[in-house]
Every structure is written in C-alpha cells, then in structure tokens.
Structure 1
C-alpha cells in the first residue's frame, strides 16, 4: 500500500481535499473520531467528512459509491462486501467488546455473568424490557445472533426495536429501565448520564473487531481512492494505532489497536 507522502497528501496537499468516511455510531458517539481525525487532517491537509450510521448502512453507502472508505464492525458483512468486489484492501484497525447493560438493580438477575446466551435467556424470561438497536448495525446483527442461540426472545410488549444509534438506545434503556446490548466504548461514554451498569461481559462471543475498507475504484471511478488509501495507511500506521491506544474516557482505554502488516 502506498504511503501518505507518495499519494500527494503530505504537507503541501490542498485543504479542499475531501475524504468521505462512512462509519458506525460507536466510533462517533464514543468521541474516538473527534480525537483521531484532527491529527490526520493536520498531517495531510485533507478533510474527512464523516457519516456515522449503523454498520449495515455504512457498508451500503460504500457499496453505492457515496463514500470513499468505510470503518465498521461487522466482520461477516465486511468479508461479503469485499468478496462481491465492492471494497478492496480491508485492514484490521482495532477491537473492543460488547457488554449487556441494565439498570443497577439488575431486574433480570444476570449481574456478574460471563455467558451472554444464558443472560439473554434470563432476560427473555424476566419481567424486564430490552431495547434493540434495530438498525442492521454490527451491534444489532450480533444481538440477533444471541437471541437465535438462546432459542427465546422477550414478547413484543417487552422488546423495543428502536432503529437508532447506540447512544440514543442507551438513553432509552435508562429512561425505560431496560436492558440492552452495547459496545463498550459508547457505554463508557454514556455511563454517567444513563446510570446503567454492566451486567454481563467477558464472553468470547462478545468480541468486537473493527475493519477499514477502501471502496473499489473499479466500481466507482469518481471516488477519492488516493484519499481513502491515505486514511487507511495512517490509521493502521504506528502513529494512528498509537492514537487509538491512547484514547481514554474516564481513564479507561476503549479500543485496542490491532493493525498488522498486510
């Protein structure tokens, strides 16, 4: 992969250079992008325009050529996106994990558990509401897979499909005294305002990797392929990975860098 300098995006690059990035609400809601992107923009003279939606929508925007590059957390969908020829050069960027969050009183009696499927069965059986993202995001897809493995779901009266981003769903869960599945980064960012507590964590099935993919210029010749590759180069470089590692909320590291040489 070419370097930033080789792409003509070094210190002499024009400020009007635009790179369109579709990404998940977790990278936006957590504050990670606001922390990361200014360093890239200063280094390259480029400007990154961010569209933060669920992973499914982010990949759809990339598929349609409405963005130049996408950063998501839905590995099966990412692999299918690349296999179908819509994206090229997928790289690992970072990972964190999912957690089950509920009101601190623990109405489903799942606190301290490490088996997410057992926890979902308890939620289905308990008199507690569950708020789903319902937006085909990476979190939503993972949640649906847990219900399938659990072999049970709450009745419609206790299962609310919000069609919203993670931060909004956490606020809803707090207001309705409900449980939800969340990525750790957004949960940590919203914890103080919601009062929700972590009930279940540590299940290997809750691993949450993020990847970055350039839109295939052969499909969409008008995209900014050089800019996309420059952003990929930087975010997977020692500098970008170091910035990811140093990002903290309340002293807690929320993402673990995972880029490797392709």
Structure 2
C-alpha cells in the first residue's frame, strides 16, 4: 500500500513538473488566421515539438500591433505591411519575417445590384459601389482589411454616403454575416470567405487585381522595450513557422480542398 502511494505521488510530481516546464507564448494575430482555422491546424505541431502553449488573441491588425507595442504579447502575426514596417522602424518589434500570403476579394449578394460581378479592377468596382443601391459593410476596426479598404476608397475618389456605408467595428466573420443579412457588399480576405461562404451565401464579385495582394508577417515584441516578454518563445515560433516544416503545414491547410494561404518565407 505504501509503495503504491509513493508511485502515485511520483507520477503526480512528474506531471506537475512537466506542466510547470511548459512555456507560455502570447500571440496576437488577425481574425483571418483564427476564423479560417489555420492556427488550429498549425499550432498543435509547434506546441508538441517545443513543450509550449500558445495563447492566441485574435483581433484586427491595428489592435494586434498595439498589444505588442504595450508588451501584452510576445509575438504578433499580422497583414498590413506599411503598418508593420513602421512598427519595426519605431523600435517596437524586431525580427520581422514573411510568412505567407493570400488575397483580398470583394463579395456581395448573388443578385449583384451594383453590377460589379466578374470585374478584376478593384477601384472601378469601388466607384460603382459608391454610387450603387446596396450597402457596403466595412470592418471599421483598423484591421489590415480595414486599412486596405480605406486605401481603395481614397484611390477610387469616391465612397458610399450616409446609411449606405456601415462601419461595423467587428471581425471579418461577423462582417460577412452582416453583409449577408443586409444584402450588402464587403471586402474580405479569401481565407475567411472560404470558411463563411456556405453559411452566408455571399457570392464572389471581384478578384485578381494585383492591388489585392495580401501578405502576412510575424514580428517579435522588442525585449529591449519590454524585458518581461518571452522573446525566446517568440523566436521559436518565428523560426518554426518560417521553417520548411511550418511552411509545409501552411500549404497543407486546405479546408474543403481549397488552399487558402500560400507560404512565402525566405531563407535566412
């Protein structure tokens, strides 16, 4: 009986020791990587190989970078290159690496009341949307998608007025649901649309414009600004997701048989 008790205690101590040794890595990232299911596909392999647990905070790119700037996360995975470059130049992040890319698309009601379906010029489509009868649903959350949308309106020289323009302040999945409910159009990343297409019934309207290219980068929070961050863990995640193994896992993510993200990491 005593021997059995000692064995149980030893096993409990071993389990406790393993749990204690497991490192926590805090990751802020965009809603597209979470909503699409990509992180659920990627992270278990990384966690198992590094005895880590990645705590994911899924928000828009602007908020994801802000969390890193404040030292609230160890690493951030986002998609707004100009904002990323400024973030690094200002000294808040280090070790930025290309990870993957997909593209933006415009989606809307199957009846296409604004007449943009089949177009490959995003600015021409936005001009039609600005004067069209249907609503446009904007993320309105300073996400990478929101930043790109605002740039398109500026370049197009027009924007829907009044109630025709709905600034939701929500994530991509919620905005797609809103667009479906309101019979409106929206700009979305292709990955999130792929997951929500069946449930929303929204149709693909515009794709293929090179201005709709959507690259993703990963950046470590600068430990010189925030000594308490887990820089070692951040570098482990950066190195893994840009490694041949991590890049292959990205390419293998094909919900419904469709590849939603394309690896783009460059060798060191």
Q: Shared fold by TM > 0.5?
A: yes
Aligned-partner SS, 1:217:
coil
- Correspondence 1:142 to 2:148: yes
State TM-score, norm by structure 1. Answer: 0.94
- Correspondence 1:51 to 2:57: yes
The two structures, once aligned, show a CA RMSD in angstroms of 1.0
CA 1:186–1:198 in structure 2 vs 1: closer, same or farther (change >3 Å)? Answer: same
- Correspondence 1:153 to 2:186: no
Q: How far apart are 1:15 and its partner, in Å?
A: 5.0
Q: What number of residue pairs does the alignment pair up?
A: 251
- Correspondence 1:195 to 2:201: yes
Q: Provide Cα deviations, 1:223-261, integer angstroms capped at 9, x if missing partner.
A: 000000000000000000000000012110000000012
Aligned-partner SS, 1:254:
coil
Structure 1 CA distance, aligned partners of 2:175 and 2:117? 20
Partner of 1:35: 41
Partner of 2:192: 186
State TM-score, norm by structure 2. Answer: 0.92
Would the aligned equivalents of 1:68 and 1:215 in 2 still touch at CA under 8 Å?
yes
Would the aligned equivalents of 1:170 and 1:180 in 2 still touch at CA under 8 Å?
yes
Q: Provide Cα deviations, 1:26-63, integer angstroms capped at 9, x if missing partner.
A: 00000000110011011111000000000000000000
Structure 2 CA distance, aligned partners of 1:102 and 1:248? 23
Would the aligned equivalents of 1:108 and 1:122 in 2 still touch at CA under 8 Å?
yes
Partner of 1:174: 180
Give the structure with the larger helix fraction. Answer: 2
Would the aligned equivalents of 1:14 and 1:46 in 2 still touch at CA under 8 Å?
no
Would the aligned equivalents of 1:23 and 1:72 in 2 still touch at CA under 8 Å?
yes
Which of these residues, 21, 41, 46, is aligned with residue 27 of structure 2? 21
Structure 2 CA distance, aligned partners of 1:219 and 1:108? 49
Structure 1 CA distance, aligned partners of 2:48 and 2:135? 45
Which of these residues, 249, 256, 261, is aligned with residue 255 of structure 1? 261
Aligned-partner SS, 1:231:
helix
